[in-house]
Amino acid sequence: MNTPAIYKGRPHQRIFFHILLITIALVVLSNMMTLGTTYLALDRELEAKDDLLLQSDTKALSYYLQRTIAALGVELEQVAQFPALIQYIQASRDTELESANNPWQEDVTQLFSGLIRAKPRYAQMRLIHHTGKELIRVDQYGANGQLRVVSRQNLQDKSERDYFQAANALPRGEIYFSQVDLNREFGKIAEPRQLVVRAAVPLFNGVTDERFGIVIINLALNKALQLLPSFSDPTHQLMVINDAGQYLFHPDPNRTLIAKNGELHNFLTDFPPLNTSITAENQDLYHHENYTIAVAPIPYHGNSNMYLALRSDNADAVKVRSMVIRQTVFILILLFLLAILISVATSRRLARPIELMSKQVLKGATGQGKLRASLPRYASAEFYFLASSLDEASDITKDQQRKLEQEVAAKNRAQNELEEKIALLDNKNRELQQFTYIASHDLQEPLRTVRSFVDVINKKYVSHFDERGKQMMGFIDDASARMQDLVKDLLDYGRIGRDLTPKPINLMQLVQDVEDDLSGTMTSRGAVVEYKELPNVIGLETELRLLFQNLLSNAFKFTEVGVQPKVKITARPVDSGWQFAVCDNGIGIPEEYRDKVFGVFKRLHNRQDYPGTGIGLAHCLKVVKLHGGDIWIEGNAPNGTCVVFTLKEVVNEKNKLDPAD
């Protein structure tokens, strides 16, 4: 029998080239599609995440500045109702303005001085007559911001100033706010340069309803702006500009208006495509190839000549994309080489049985049966059986693959949902930290004001109080002081874990430093601290220092008078890292309260016996949780307390420091 031309040559060579071409084409096409899809999805995800963070930061910082300026109005309304100021206005009808005979002059001056002392960001407070003549002026002057009561001969005439004319023309109850400007004295920019926002309210004689003048506060805006970076993501570049594009705040102080020649630098020149953004009423995002900028207005009482801009570089996205491309190319090369090996092996495995079956068919060894009638001449019963078996195996494989894909898809959905929830939780934790810090910081200002007024009352009016009144004023002063301590402790509690950069720490040296900090208390009580062979660990140095400081302070504090405090610190390795014990000979903690003392502001004794706010052990708990450990209290026979805690030795992805714990 003649062999057809199509079967001449070695069959496995023809099969090899067919399989190789198809495999390479599929590998290249699938990987190019995967690379393109991954690149686009990754780019969109990174951009959307950065945009969301930028907008959130911009909104929070803009709101903070609005609140800072709005607080001026509230303060002014309170000052306008101050009894000494009202009496000064009424008494001015009976005295000459240039005379120092007004009996309320000193009280109003003390009021202004107390407010500026309590709120250092207030640069100046003035009482101006409706003729424009300054009557009282208290300000901070010089590079060190020293408090000064300006003498009568140095008071100025402000009748020609725009802000005075506008404020003096307002009806009763309205407040004037100026735009941001450099502070000027005698018509010239005052040195050192200072950005100010002026707020003023008109004053009227309560008896005759005649216009008396205005009371005005200058807010040192550059002091408020210097606090903004602490509230922002450190990877963002923060800028504040006016409607002319000049920098009010910039990471480089030499580019701001308060610097010499700072007016030469301009946001609109640095970022030309954003010319229209500083006139927008809402937030605006601008995407550049290498960075993204968010711009938002900062409106206050009809003025909006301030804008806040945050810049985020796209360097991280570029690095991620480059890494994905390199990995994909590397995988593509590996798959290409693998395709060649698979093609060679597959062609050899298929060619041999095909050669044998072709020879059998060409010889006619299969006979004249149904196979020859239904199959080509080169087919065989064994090949048909193999094809049937392969079909059956293929059905089984597809069914298993379909089930596996469903399981994988379900797991991927669950993984995606988990990642979204983790990202949301991270955002909420950052917002909570920012809220805690801002709220605690703002709570201190009214407390300082209360204490300042209490000091003024004690100095000026204490002779009018009976013993009961003096006792009540003492209660107010003590309560304000305790509240300040509580707010400070709460602020410290919120700061714990803000810098999550672990590093190697020598605990022997750290405890020695803590002893140096507490040397005054140790000397007065004759305290002794025993420790040796403390290990080196990887952790947060500031937080661990706070941990040992609180534990040693408590040990000294809660020891009976007349008893020498003795503290022993020990450490031993455990499976998860190190276990420490700080044991003292103090008054001890009853067993039923040992789980409760780690709560915020939890106390077991009254303040007269043992002073403090009750947040020290809460600090300790948070620090230990940051290091992946646990903390508990044990007894120390025959008396005293042992505070035991663990610290994980190595910080890795499975033991990630988390400030939310």
Sign of CA dihedral 546, 551, 552, 556: positive
Domains and CATH numbers, the chain: 81-224 (3.30.450.20), 234-313 (3.30.450.20), 380-495 (1.10.287), 503-655 (3.30.565.10)
Residue with the bigger pLDDT between 14 and 150: it is: 150
Q: How confident is the model at residue 387 (pLDDT cuts 50, 70, 90)?
A: very low
631 near 643, Cβ under 8 Å?
Answer: yes
235 HSE (CA, 13 A, CB side)? 10
Kindly report the average pLDDT of the chain as a whole number: 75
Instruction: Please check whether residue 539 is in contact with residue 502, taking contact to mean a CB–CB distance below 8 angstroms.
Output: yes
In percent, the amount of the chain with pLDDT more than 70 equals 68
Least confident of 115-129, 151-165, 592-606: 592-606
> Across 179-193, 249-263, 301-315, 341-355, which has the greatest mean pLDDT?
249-263
215, pLDDT greater than 90: yes
Q: Give the model's pLDDT for residue 1.
A: 44
Average pLDDT over residues 469-494: 64
Pull the structure tokens for residue 574.
Answer: 């455990």
Burial 41-62 (b: 16+ CB within 10 A, else e): eebeebeeebeebbebbbebbb
Query: Closest by alpha carbon to 529, among 544, 517, 540, 541?
Result: 517
In tens, the pLDDT along 7-65 reads: 445 555 666 667 767 777 777 777 777 767 766 666 677 677 777 888 888 888 888 88
* pLDDT score of 455: 79
**For residues 108 and 604, which has the higher predicted lDDT (pLDDT)?**
108
Q: Which residue has the higher pLDDT, 501 or 380?
A: 501
* pLDDT exceeds cutoff 90 at 216: yes
So what's the pLDDT on residue 7? Answer: 44
Split at pLDDT 50, 70, 90, the class of 294 is confident
Q: What was the pLDDT predicted at 434? A: 67
410 — pLDDT class (breaks 50, 70, 90): confident
Q: What is the mean pLDDT of residues 542-564?
A: 82
Give the pLDDT of residue 472: 75
Q: Residue 321: its pLDDT value, please? A: 65
Q: How many CB atoms lie within 10 A of CB 20?
A: 17
* Choice between 160 and 484, residue whose per-residue pLDDT is larger: 160
Q: Which residue has the tokens 């002794």?
A: 528
The answer to which of 152-166, 336-350, 360-374, 559-573 has the lowest mean pLDDT is 360-374
**Burial bucket for residue 626 (CB in 10 Å: 0-12, 13-18, 19+):** buried
Of residues 98 and 43, the one with the higher pLDDT is 43
- For the segment 296-305, the average pLDDT, to the nearest whole number, is 73
**202: phi then psi, degrees, rounded to nearest 5:** -75, 150
- pTM listed for this prediction: 0.45
Over 80: is that where the pLDDT of 447 sits? no
**pLDDT at residue 269 tops 50:** yes
